[in-house]
Amino acid sequence: MKTKLKYTLLALVAAPAILILIVGCNEKKAAIDDKKEAAENEIDDLKDEVDSSAKEATERIDRNAEVDKASIEADKISRQAQLDAEMKKVDAEAEADKAKIDTEEE
């Protein structure tokens, strides 16, 4: 009976120690999981910021490209108008020269 009492006492002393050890381990694991989740959330937030920043940069580049295209088109139209005016001037000068010749021959 003494042996049974020893084991019972040993079990009564060991059980709380084992429980404390298990609870302590679970708390440590929970803390590790919390730390992991916080790090993952921070990384997700940073990824969202990178995504947003890239989207804004792309939109800005698209707007700038539209402005550049419009500027190029306006420059083209302006240059063509100048060349059309030069063409009319050349035509007018040629007609004037022909008319001068016609008058000289009469």
What is the model's pLDDT at position 102? Answer: 81
pLDDT tens per residue across span 55-79: 999 999 999 999 999 999 999 999 9
pTM for the whole thing? 0.51
Residue 29, class by beta-carbon neighbours within 10 Å (0-12 exposed, 13-18 middle, 19+ buried)?
exposed
1 has a pLDDT exceeding 90: no
**How far, rounded to the nearest angstrom, does the alpha carbon of residue 18 sit from its chain's CA centroid?**
53
Structure tokens at 84: 């059309």
